[in-house]
Each structure stands twice: as C-alpha cells, then as structure tokens.
Structure 1
Amino acid sequence: MRFWGEAFDVTINVPDWAALERQISMRLQAGDGFSLATINLDHLVKLRQDARFRAAYAAQDLVVADGNPIVWMSKLAGRSVSLIPGSDAILPLVRLAIGHDKTIALVGSTDDTLAAAKDYLEREIPGTRVVATIAPPMGFDPSGQSADAVLDALAAANADIAFIALGAPKQELFAAYGRQKMQNMGFVSIGAGLDFFSGAQVRAPAWVRAIAMEWLWRALSQPARLIPRYAKCFAILPVELMHALKLRSGSATSYSASEGK
C-alpha cells in the first residue's frame, strides 16, 4: 500500500504479522541488519514538512501500518494490510530474537524507564538478553556525534537489535543513520512502547483499543500536547482518502506489494 504526499510516497511493504515475522527471521538467521518503521497519520503530517524525515523513511527496509486510519485507507484502496503498532511488535520481536540467540538493546526515554522496561522484558520473556540500555542526553542529534556515541555503545555491548524509543522523527532518523553505519544490526522504531512496559505511561485498555478509540483515550490524557497533533492528522485525511480511491480505481500509479527490500 502506498500513501501519498507532495513529491513523495511511503510504501507499506510488510502487510501483516506473518510477513513481519518471516522478514525478521530471515534477516536474523542470515546475520543481516534492518530498520523497521511504523507509519501512522502523525508521521504522514511530519513527512509533508520535513525533507530529512522523508529521506529517513525512504531508507527504511521494512514499513508496517501503525494506526487504524492507515489500515482503513489501505482497505479502501483494495490493498489491505494488518494493524501492527510499534508497541505491540516489541514482544513478538523479542521472542524472535531469543529464538535466533540474539541480544537486544533499548535506546531512548530515561534511565529509570529503560531499567524498568528491561526488568519487564526479562521477567515476561525468559531468555531475553538486554545487553544495553541507553538514554541519550537532551539535544540528541540522531545523525551526528551523539548518534555515533550511541552506536559505539551498541557495538561495545554486542547488541543485535536496538529498540528505538525517541519519538518521530528522531527515532527514524537515528535508525536510518545507524543502518548505514552498522550493517548487521536491526533498528526498530517503537515510539512510546517502552514507557508502557515501565509504567511511565498507561496504555488504553484492551476494549478501548478494540473499538479503535485509543487515539481519543490518549488525547484526553494529554490534551494540550495531543489534540493539536490529532487536528493536523484529521486535516490530511481528505487528500489521503482521495489517493486511496485513485489507487482502487487504477488512476494512480500502480504498485505491486513486495515484502521487504
């Protein structure tokens, strides 16, 4: 599924959970690196405004659908994909890492949050090996000297997969930068996933997520920060819906889905 922006496209090239597990397993088995991004409406807003973010997305190996509007528009376009939120992908990917005898690192947030998330993962999934927890300082440059320092720490710890919780666009910028520097490491951008594990943030209950109202739950919990963000997301929906209809009718450029690069 392709999403449209002025002078750029974002392609979801991993349509469902089975394809994601297959792609990651193949890369882990071969010792190949990867970068995984999770597209949502907020990212589409930012992509319209930030050329560096567009370049970072173009460099991602794997892109999945994070957000029900993305899933619904894909269905409208006749190119259905499954919902794969970054926070929900963490545990399955940690299990895959264990199955391939790989280590993981946690990057982002605060030292306390990362320590609590490490404890949670090691408690919930026996065999998990978290070899590094790195909370970058304020003013972290995702493609500068401070990024190099984090990459050096990951290399020193012999980490195989780094879960990046820096928020967009920093996490995707760092993942793209790290992917160029460390060919055998996996970078997974996960947003607030580690905060949920540590208890720093409370995720919406399962029934709220089941009726696709997690966005409203979050907006009410942090109105000053999130209501303006969601307003911008709603503003781009007409254009994205139009593009989905064009894809369905064949009037937009055709696209054949592939799984990974």
Structure 2
Amino acid sequence: MAYRMQHLPDRAEGGSDPLALVNFPTEAALLADVEARLRAEQGFAIATLNLDHVVKMRRNGDFLRAYRAHSHVVADGNPIVWLSRLSGRPDVALVPGSELIEPVAALAARLGMPLAFLGSTEPVLRAAASALEADHPGLKVAACVAPPFGFDPEGPAADAMVDEVAASGARICLLALGAPKQEILAASGLARHPQLGFLSIGAGLDFIAGHQVRAPVWVRKIAMEWLWRMLSNPRRLARRYLDCALVLPSLTGTALAARRRK
C-alpha cells in the first residue's frame, strides 16, 4: 500500500510488541514536535494506542501497517501506560486522544494554521467547530467533511475527501472515524499530502459538540472510564472489553520480556 512509510522501522518491524509503537511518552513532547513540524511545513500522523487497537492489530494487518506509518504514537489508556512502565519505560504517561483536541486547537490558533474535521456527522462537525472557534480566538476551521455511511478509508472517495481538506488550506485534520478507519486514512492521507497533519480522535468531537457525554473527571482519575462507558452501552462494548482483557496476559509477558532485555 502507498502508506507503508518508514517512520517507525526499528521499533515496529516485527509487530510482536505493540507497546514499542509508543514513541512520544508525554503530551508536552508530542506538542513540541508537532509545532516544530508545522513551522517546517512538514506533516504528521498521530495515533493514540489503547487495548482495543492492540486487539484490532492482531486481526487486521492493514491496521498494523497503518500504525507503523504514523509519525507519532501516544498511550491512550491506563493499561498501555502501566504495561509500558512495566516494560522499563517509566516516562510513558497517559495521553487520551480526546484530550488532545483542545491543546492542538490552541496551538493551531497561536500559529494561525487552520484545522479541518473529517468524520462523524455534519451537525456534530459544525457544532464542534463553533465551540472550538469560540474557545480559541483566531482559530479557523476551514473544512468540515462528513463521509457517507459505509465509507471506505482506502477507496477513491477517501482520496477525494483528503484532497478537499488539503485544498481548504487546513494544516491539521482531525479524524473522527473510529478505529481502524481513521488510522488507515491518516496513514494514506499523509502519504498523499506530506504537508498535512492528521490526528485521530474517535468520539472526541462528539464530546465537544455535546452529542456524547464523557465519564466524569473523578471516574477518569480512578481509571474507571472504561467501566463507565461499558455500563452506558453494554450491548456494544461488553465484547470489546472482554477481548481487551484477554490480551492482557500476553502483553504482560511481552512487557516483562522487554524489561529483562533492558
């Protein structure tokens, strides 16, 4: 595929240790590098690793290849943070994708670089754009692109939508498509438009638009957001979290093996 770039050749080539994909341990390190790339007119693709992504990588080779093509990967989920520290990386901190929207919007406003949204629905995108522009004076959302139902991130329609984003003058595109669609599109989009930055944020824009409610802060602080989400939609999420729990033993073994090697 066109997006098989070489950003992460050493860490991820074998794919046996998904924890090694995390190459930016903190939000501060991530934002500093993103700013440097924006100033240099270089693009990027940011993925936020969690257990659900690990499960999907093991089942979907395209998803794993897309992750390997990302320039930035952070730990989105306490299990990834804990396992990374178990592997001998004490600097890895929690960086949820939905919590990157505000600092990235602030950065874009400060640098005078427009954003674009791709994903979700037109009402959500417009509401989120209004909210972010109000909260960050000087910010411009140059494009809001809502794909049709059944959108194929590897089809010609995807290329046309990324071309629309690029033509709008946006420098950063927030992808709200869910995994693995958003990561696959980010990888192919960066290969197609190397000056664009892509950030996959899942339901983050729905939170900002008020169309979904995130877990209360106290729930997040005790690392129980996953339980809050599952109880709010058990039919859809129970199986997902069971699959996540089932990968923990092998990931723990991988982390311990990495620690021994260090």
Could you tell me which residue of structure 2 aligns to residue 43 of structure 1? Answer: 53
Whole-Å Cα distance in 2 between the matches of residues 149 and 83 of structure 1? 34
Could you tell me which residue of structure 2 aligns to residue 25 of structure 1? Answer: 35
Q: Are residues 1:183 and 2:201 paired?
A: no
Q: Are residues 1:68 and 2:78 paired?
A: yes
Given the alignment, which residue of 104, 109, 114 partners 1:98?
A: 109
Q: Provide TM-score, normalisation by structure 1.
A: 0.92
Q: After superposition, give the CA deviation of every residue in 1:164-196 in whole Å (9 maximum; x if it has no partner).
A: 010000000000010110010000011110010
* Shift in Å, 1:115: 0.8
Whole-Å Cα distance in 2 between the matches of residues 96 and 105 of structure 1? 14
Contact persistence 2:166–2:196 (CA under 8 A): no
For 1:22, the aligned partner's letter is: A
Whole-Å Cα distance in 2 between the matches of residues 54 and 129 of structure 1? 33
Could you tell me which residue of structure 2 aligns to residue 13 of structure 1? Answer: 23
Could you tell me which residue of structure 1 aligns to residue 212 of structure 2? Answer: 201
| Aligned pairs (5 A) from 1:123-138 | 123-138=134-149
* Shift in Å, 1:221: 0.5
Contact persistence 2:17–2:254 (CA under 8 A): no
Contact persistence 2:175–2:201 (CA under 8 A): yes
Contact persistence 1:34–1:62 (CA under 8 A): yes
- Unaligned 5+ residue runs, structure 2? 1-10
Contact persistence 2:12–2:68 (CA under 8 A): no
* Shift in Å, 1:152: 2.0
Could you tell me which residue of structure 2 aligns to residue 240 of structure 1? Answer: 251
Report the secondary structure of 2:80's partner residue. helix
For 1:63, the aligned partner's letter is: V
Whole-Å Cα distance in 1 between the matches of residues 14 and 123 of structure 2? 38
Report the secondary structure of 1:139's partner residue. coil
CA gap 1:34/1:216 in 2 versus in 1, 3 angstroms: same
Could you tell me which residue of structure 2 aligns to residue 221 of structure 1? Answer: 232
For 1:88, the aligned partner's letter is: E
Given the alignment, which residue of 192, 211, 222 partners 2:222?
A: 211
| Aligned pairs (5 A) from 1:75-154 | 75-80=85-90, 81-154=92-165
| Structure 1 ranges of 4+ moved more than 4 A | 2-10
Q: After superposition, give the CA deviation of every residue in 1:209-229 in whole Å (9 maximum; x if it has no partner).
A: 000000000000110011100
* Shift in Å, 1:119: 1.1
Report the secondary structure of 2:93's partner residue. coil
CA RMSD of aligned residues (A): 1.6
Contact persistence 1:3–1:240 (CA under 8 A): no
* Shift in Å, 1:142: 0.8
* Shift in Å, 1:5: 8.2
- Unaligned 5+ residue runs, structure 1? 255-261
Whole-Å Cα distance in 2 between the matches of residues 150 and 57 of structure 1? 21
Whole-Å Cα distance in 2 between the matches of residues 18 and 246 of structure 1? 29
Q: After superposition, give the CA deviation of every residue in 1:127-147 in whole Å (9 maximum; x if it has no partner).
A: 111011110011211121111
> Kindly, what percent of the aligned residue pairs are identical?
51
Report the secondary structure of 2:117's partner residue. strand
Q: Are residues 1:230 and 2:241 paired?
A: yes
For 1:20, the aligned partner's letter is: L
CA gap 1:5/1:72 in 2 versus in 1, 3 angstroms: farther
Contact persistence 1:103–1:128 (CA under 8 A): yes
Given the alignment, which residue of 143, 156, 166 partners 2:167?
A: 156
Report the secondary structure of 1:164's partner residue. strand
Q: Provide TM-score, normalisation by structure 2.
A: 0.92
Report the secondary structure of 1:113's partner residue. helix
For 2:86, the aligned partner's letter is: L
* Shift in Å, 1:112: 0.6
* Shift in Å, 1:156: 2.2
